[in-house]
Structure 1
Amino acid sequence: MLSFALITHDEGPRLRRSLAALERGLLPDEDLTVFDLGSTDDTLPELASFMGPRAGELIRLTRPDLSRSEAITLARDVARHPYLLVLDGCDLLISEALDGLRRVLAQEPQAVVLNRGWGLGGVDAILPAPDAARMATLGSDPDCGALMTLTPDPDRLLIHAGLAGKLAKELACEACASGTPAQDWALWQQILTRAESVALHPETLWISPLPARPVAPVFTAIAASPAPVEEIGRMLSWAEDALIFAAPDEAPALLQAAQEMLAALSPEHVAALPDTAPLVPLLAALTRDDTALALTHIALLLAAQERRRNDALCAALAGLRHDLDLALPGPAYLRDLYDRIRAR
């Protein structure tokens, strides 16, 4: 039912944790295809030892120029099962969530929207997906329209091989980390629209390191979109989701991109945006040409995001301290050990 693909390149110490998580999650009949893109550290020996008698194969390339979409295409060709979950070597699979996913796949949906978290400092400090709360409200059988409102991340779409064959051209850019927002949005909508049956797996399935990804292009994509007003409102929601990747020093670029977006939208679009649309205070300030207030709204949004990152880091540090306290001997133990040694 489920095949796996892993893409690695000089993963270093993180690979061992990733492989250990895969070890716990893989069933005996589930195959794994590993693409190593020319690693020069100890990644290859680790992978060779891990694969051993497992179903699947390790494909070693000498140069890191295989695109993600090409790797996915190759992995689909050799996968034993109709669903292919693609991970990077630094991703951490949450093996406990796989049983729930397998129950969803038993219904044979053509597409499944997955949930992944974002990790800071590796993957120890975890930020939930920005649409995780929205996912939780959709219930067990959401329709395509409801799923369309979630963050348009093609990496989170698990597609049946039958649908993948029908969408071969569109999937040529599947899950490209370098894809533009407009490309990701178009692919997201294309897959969910073309799928005859869709499903949702809201439990976090894997953790990826939080990438550095500029957010201003999201506003640029909205400005260039010919979509009707209801879709513009959805795109603004996606723009707010994208702030999870933003850094505080992006505020000036975000302000300029938001100004250009508002100038590109027609007055009818602006007037018809619902009061509940995300980023409404920002747009309202820009409509009044109050750039100082608009910049303040952007600063508050980025500050809130920075607070979430700090909270995640604090939680990780607290967990680390707890583990150290359990692992290291306390003063009473050391004193007792000292007294016993002296008594000899």
Structure 2
Amino acid sequence: MSRRRKHAFGYHAGVTIEGTQLACDAAGSATDLIFLSHARALASGAPFRLSPHRAGRRQLLTTEGTLILLGKTGERLRARTLPALVGRAFNLGGLRLQLVPAGYLPGAASLLCDVGDRHILYAGTVGRECSAAGMGPAEVRRAHAVCLDATFGDPRFVLPPFEEAAQSLRRFVETALAGSRTPVLLVSPSGPAPAVVHILQAAGLSLRSHGRFLEAFSRFRRAGAAVPNLRRFSGRLDRNEALLWPPEARDAPVLTALSSPSFAFVSGFSVEPKAIECMRADQGIALSNQAGFDDLLAYLEGTGAQEVALHRGFAETFAELLRRRGYDAYAIDPPRQMELFRG
């Protein structure tokens, strides 16, 4: 009888690659080498726990773009960050490693690791090609085992083609303005917001935004992304202007002073009616910079992997579906509530 091979991924305060000292998007132990795949990978406050005066002997593997997006936290982490270029393989402690473009945020990367005779791919959060945002697509690598972020790992999250979502966005804003209403777009500053701005500015529509968008876009530019300029919202909008607003600030008192506001929730989660209801939005627009359900399946098929670890979101749901398709699929972290402000 053949002995079953041990799974490539485990979980200890985050994803670990078995047989190595690698922890991915995790605080990890004091001896771990921590791979940080993108600037939003850890829970709120976690990047600070990786700061030098708290990190023991831990070292960080990430990209320059991710450090820039982390702002002051990224600067504090530089002293413990190992330099690595995306796309260039290198050796570290007996391991062969390579960072691969993930297509999600500027600097976002997946990690390909050779462990013995196996190629292990921590894909993490895979981006969805969104040409208007100036981001390249995720690059797929062949692997024996892969770990994926299953935020949209449920069949209900099949997202529409980019141009279809863009058309819905333009139509919403133009219809609201034609009806003398104020279009308010609830969208994550570090999510699909750059695409939203590109789409609307290309259509000749004017925008103002919450200050968080100006800060996020400034960091994007420093990280090398092509994002447009924005004007700050100071309490008033000119006629024929739309407003960008972070979903988590939906209850801000200043919004009550707007003239006849019409709200759209711009996110991959907007395919779920309960998410639109939660945001108290008039419409959902399923535009996302994060891979939807069918995108995840296509990515997985491209890797050729038979072993699939899932974390975040609908990990259990996705694992069960993949097992029915013949994959050795398993969830490796506790179930979470939908993170509506991510994608």
The structure with more helix, counted as a fraction of residues: 1
Greater Rg over alpha carbons, structure? 1
Same-fold call, TM > 0.5? no
The structure with more strand, counted as a fraction of residues: 2
Question: TM-score when scaled to structure 1?
Answer: 0.30
Question: TM-score when scaled to structure 2?
Answer: 0.30
